[in-house]
Structure 1
Amino acid sequence: MSQFERIGPEPALQLLEQGAAVVDIRDPQSFAGGHITGAQHLDNGSLPDFVAAADREQPLIVCCYHGNSSQPAASYFAELGFARVFSLDGGYELWRQQFPEKTARPAPHA
């Protein structure tokens, strides 16, 4: 059985500062409206290229809206052989509340 860990925003930030990758599986419009700084958006179209190019030894954090959809996605990455996979508890919504300075947002319209 493939394993992943559930982590909150604080340990996720520590992992990011140590070089972990973060993928966001929300819909493209939500991702464009704001995401964890440095996150890569993944959908069914971009998933094969990401998996082919990824360093499977690098820690991987999976983010969704609230931390529910990221769990089966994290399990999927673990099944693919990613060594350290994490599901972000609270998802992007909790992250942006706790770390607004680590959140990428679109530029305001002039």
Structure 2
Amino acid sequence: MTTYQIISATGLKQLQQQAEVQIVDIRDPASFEKGHIPGAVQLGNHNLTTFIAQADMDKPLVVVCYHGISSQSAAEYLHQQGFDEVYSLDGGFAAWPWYD
């Protein structure tokens, strides 16, 4: 059973208009620095425990990777950690049309 949802880039923009959304980007730090969705936090093994301890489990959480594959397993994991509403960005950062 899937415990997260797939969301399109347009769907994410719409969700951001309706609610305060937490966005985590699981790409490597260098890729994150080159460009990321505004408001996103780079999430990796170095800050995962701290992020989970400090995050609001009730706010929607969107996981972003390169192309939308790795984010699915990360979304599943984060849901298991207690996040209620978790999404994986379909197509990943490559599908985000609003980057510079």
Q: Deviations over 1:74-106 (max 9, x none)?
A: 0001111100000000100110xx223xx5xxx
**1:6 aligned onto 2:6:** yes
Gaps of 5+ in 2: none
How far off its partner does 1:15 sit? 1.7
On the 8 A contact 1:62/1:70 being kept in 2, the answer is yes
2-structure distance, mates of 1:89, 1:14: 14
How far off its partner does 1:2 sit? 5.8
Seen in structure 2, the aligned counterparts of structure 1 residues 61 and 45 have a Cα distance that, compared at 3 Å, is same
TM-score by length of 2: 0.94
> Residue 16 of structure 1 aligns to which amino acid in structure 2?
Q
2-structure distance, mates of 1:16, 1:29: 25
Percentage identity across paired residues of the two chains: 46
On the 8 A contact 1:21/1:58 being kept in 2, the answer is yes
1-structure distance, mates of 2:32, 2:58: 25
> Residue 37 of structure 1 aligns to which amino acid in structure 2?
P
CA RMSD of aligned residues (A): 1.2
Per the alignment, residue 54 of structure 1 pairs with: 55
Seen in structure 2, the aligned counterparts of structure 1 residues 9 and 33 have a Cα distance that, compared at 3 Å, is same
Higher Cα Rg, which structure: 1
Kindly report which structure 2 residues correspond to 1:1-110, keeping only aligned pairs within 5 A, or say none.
3-17=3-17, 18-95=19-96, 98-100=97-99
Quick check: 25-34 or 10-19, which moved more? 10-19
> Residue 92 of structure 1 aligns to which amino acid in structure 2?
F
